[in-house]
Amino acid sequence: MNVFVTGSKGFIGKNLILALSRIQGLSIYEYDITDEENKLKDAISKADIIYHLAGVNRPQNNNEFIAGNVDLTKTILNYLRNRENAPPIIMTSSIQAELDNPYGISKKNAEEAMKEYKIETGNKICIYRLPNVFGKWCKPFYNSVVATFCYNLTHDKPLTITDPSREISFIYIDDVIKNLLQHLSNGFNYQSEPIIPGPTYNTTLQNLADILTKCRDVRTGGLLPDFSNKLEKYLYSTFLSYYEKDDQVYQVEKKEDSRGYLFELIKTKNAGQIFVSRTFPGITRGNHYHDTKVEKFCVLEGKALIKLRNMVSGEINEIYVEGTDGTIVDIPPGWTHNITNVGTTDLITLFWANENFNSEKPDTYFCEV
């Protein structure tokens, strides 16, 4: 199948091209608004399906809206009129097509050109009216508040919010791509009226800023976003994509004493925290129990003896583990426990606790095993 994508160098185009490249049996033809028209004509003549993503958002003057959004669409449709067995054409528009501004009017006019083509030829069209799209590779300071906020926070710049209570509708880039890819299979019900794809997420500018600020603060001991909330999950993925390559690495606090040292890796709101320790040979950690907190121990490197004693029955459990075992030991409440490095090399252990450590309410009571 020959797939033709206009606007392939843009935000949505880059993501679509990447997704298409993973599908076997496709030949992908690309066109950017700066390319020669002969390239456009040639690709249309070969295409089995057309994704028309090209458009203008922030021109130097309003006339460019007409050229980039309306005239280009009409040029493509005219080439299709002269082709036998014209392929389906899927165009991305904007919810601003409902607004009375130069950009919205140009998008509306492009939609009308598509509808007229459908009426005249009976060929398949689909128009997606996109809300505010966010995700990786979206250009900051252009037409996406998410991209601009992400860029500023990952580059230690302040956020400017003129209307904190303003509510905006968003859609994640991967969901846009899923909607577009469904046209590659038979059975899609093509129609003339614009479709607003989903799922969409509504939030205020202030809440958006708060979520992205939390994403930044993860690196300094803050909680991970709530990944059960898809908006927060997708914003965190988007946020990380805006770090420069030299900033993809960061340091966490090293808590060191005579036993070795410990790093807190991840803290969450509802799923506890993960930390890792290095323990020197012959050293024992722990000798405490919890009333409610539970933990999991996983030795990654070295040899360890993990001891547990039931605080009521006195029952004892001794477990020898090595880093090559892939063994996880559950630490239930009411069992005092410790871990000893019984090897000759340092012991590396990964720990999970079902709640974050709270120095004011540690739920930790010292007692020898």
Catalytic positions are 103
Other beta carbons less than 10 A from residue 31's beta carbon: 27
Identify the H or E element spanning 178.
Answer: helix 173-181
Question: How does DSSP classify residue 16?
Answer: H
- Report CA-CA distances (Å) from 349 to 39, 273, 304, 309: 58, 14, 9, 20
DSSP state for residue 218 in the 8-state scheme? G
Q: Which amino acid is at 46?
A: K
Report the number of secondary-structure helices (H) and strands (E) in the chain: 9, 19
- CA gap 112, 98 in Å, rounded: 12
Rama region for 86: left / alpha / beta (φ>0; ψ in -120 to 50; rest): beta
Of the candidates 216, 206, 203, 201, which has an alpha carbon nearest to the alpha carbon of residue 160? 206
Question: What's the rounded Cα separation, in Å, for the pair 301 and 299?
Answer: 6
- CB neighbour list of residue 233: distance below 8 Å, 6 or more residues apart: 225, 226, 227
Cβ atoms of 353 and 273 closer than 8 Å: yes
Distance CA 155, CA 151 (A): 6
Output the CA angle 335-338-343, nearest 5 degrees: 145
With contact defined as beta carbons under 8 Å apart, do 304 and 339 qualify? Answer: yes
Please name the amino acid found at residue 95: I
SS3 37: helix
Q: What angle do CA 257, 258, 259 make, to 5 degrees?
A: 90
Mind giving me the DSSP string for 153-164? HHTT-----S-T
Q: How many angstroms separate the CA atoms of 116 and 178, rounded? A: 27
